[in-house]
Amino acid sequence: MNFRLFASTFGLIFLAELGDKTQLATLSLSASGESRWTVFVAAASALVVTSAIGVGAGEALARVVPPVWVNRVAGLGFIAMGGFLLLRRR
């Protein structure tokens, strides 16, 4: 196992997910007083499944498109979204 890749992936996903709507929804569901373990297992399972979809899609895409181009397009997409958010009028 590549521990450097593991650590960078864990850190990036952990920071990206911290305080987002998924965490807030999980907080709300667990605060209802029902089974907190059921909420935890369901939320963790959902994140595992969505991650598996992302890994599978990334692997399939890498077979057709060189990874350097996937990174470039993803980077440009994030820059475009950031620019859009900065420039949009309220």
How confident is the model over 33-67, as pLDDT tens digits? 778 899 999 999 999 999 999 999 989 998 999 98
Instruction: Give the phi and the psi of residue 2 in degrees, each rounded to 5.
Output: -85, 100
Q: Which of 82, 62, 63, 84 is nearest to 71 (CA)?
A: 62
How confident is the model over 7-21, as pLDDT tens digits? 998 998 888 887 788
The DSSP line for 30-43 is: HTTSS-HHHHHHHH
Q: What does the pLDDT read at residue 90?
A: 65
pTM over 0.85: no
Can you give the residue ranges of every domain in the chain?
3-65
Instruction: Find the radius of gyration of the CA atoms of the chain.
Output: 17
